[in-house]
């Protein structure tokens, strides 16, 4: 069975994609919330799939190194990496951004992504695939922390994509539809969530783009 590493798998789109990929992949689910990962594991097993839970913080370099070493020792390689982990800092005017929130955004959205690319690349090799999800908010009022760091994450992914176009791994950057996730709820607390796309419906829509 193929393997899929999903960073940010404990909830939202990451969890939905884990379930969508479980029929064809052994899911390696990374997230900080153990309880949510255990619930995901139960759902995967109930559907006949298999998963390995990795309750870890992606900003802890030693933990990510150990995870990738464990993947190599068990499977020798990795077929797919789906990166959905993100920090959604509270909205704030640019002149009043909390330094703590900004530092956390940089650590999770940029620095951890950069480290993961370096750790996961040898596992993916020439034939593996990495998938990122764009959410362009650069220049949007009050989105300074999120827009800046999410934009930097995607810029990094696009550079990696350009560098590996002829050699692999295959790097893809997809654009999800708006979904009623906890991240979006922080940004749009009064929004009518019934107009948004269900996370499992969106995962099903994205699946062909991830696997084709």
What 3-state class would DSSP assign to 150?
A: helix
Q: What is the pLDDT of residue 142?
A: 97
CA distances from 19 to 161, 200, 203 (A): 26, 8, 9
Q: What is the pLDDT of residue 127?
A: 97
Q: What is the CATH number of domain 2-211?
A: 3.40.50.720
SS in 3 state form for 122-159? HHHCCCCEEEEECCCCCCCCCEHHHHHHHHHHHHHHHH
Tokens of residue 58, six digits:
């992606």
Q: What is the pLDDT of residue 201?
A: 98
Looking from the CA of 208 toward its CB, the CA atoms found within 13 Å total 2
Q: What is the pLDDT of residue 197?
A: 97
Contact 37, 10 (CB under 8 A): yes
Q: What is the pLDDT of residue 20?
A: 98
* Size (the chain), residues: 212
**157 vs 168: CA distance, rounded Å:** 13
Kind plus residue range of the DSSP H or E element containing 123: helix 112-124
DSSP β-bridge partners for residue 2: 25
Q: What is the pLDDT of residue 121?
A: 98
pTM confidence score: 0.96
What 3-state class would DSSP assign to 149?
A: helix
Q: Where are the domains of the chain?
A: 2-211
Which residues, at least 6 apart from 200, have a Cβ–Cβ distance to it below 8 Å?
16, 19, 20
pLDDT along the chain (212 residues), means of 10: 97 97 98 96 96 97 97 98 96 97 98 98 98 96 97 98 97 97 92 96 98 94
Sheet strands (E) in the chain: 2-7, 25-31, 51-55, 80-83, 129-133, 170-174
**85 vs 50: CA distance, rounded Å:** 21
């Amino acid at each position: 069975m193929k393997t899929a590493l999903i960073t940010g798998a404990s909830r939202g789109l990451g969890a939905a994609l884990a379930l969508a990929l479980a029929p064809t992949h052994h899911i390696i689910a990374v997230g900080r919330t153990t309880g949510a990962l255990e619930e995901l594991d139960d759902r995967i097993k109930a559907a006949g799939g298999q998963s390995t839970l990795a309750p870890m913080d992606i900003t802890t370099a030693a933990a990510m190194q150990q995870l990738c070493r464990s993947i190599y020792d068990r499977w020798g390689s990795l077929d797919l990496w789906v990166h959905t982990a993100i920090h959604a800092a509270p909205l704030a005017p640019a002149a009043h951004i909390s330094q703590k929130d900004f530092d956390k955004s940089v650590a999770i959205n940029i620095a951890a992504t950069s480290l993961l690319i370096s750790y996961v690349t040898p596992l993916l090799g020439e034939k593996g695939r990495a998938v990122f999800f764009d959410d362009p908010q650069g220049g949007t009022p009050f989105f300074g922390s999120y827009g800046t760091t999410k934009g930097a994450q995607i810029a990094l992914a696009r550079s990696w994509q350009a560098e590996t176009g002829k050699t692999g791994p295959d790097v893809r950057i997809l654009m999800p539809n708006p979904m009623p996730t906890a991240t979006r709820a922080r940004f749009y607390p009064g929004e009518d969530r019934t107009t948004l796309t269900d996370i499992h419906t969106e995962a099903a829509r994205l699946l062909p783009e991830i696997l084709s």
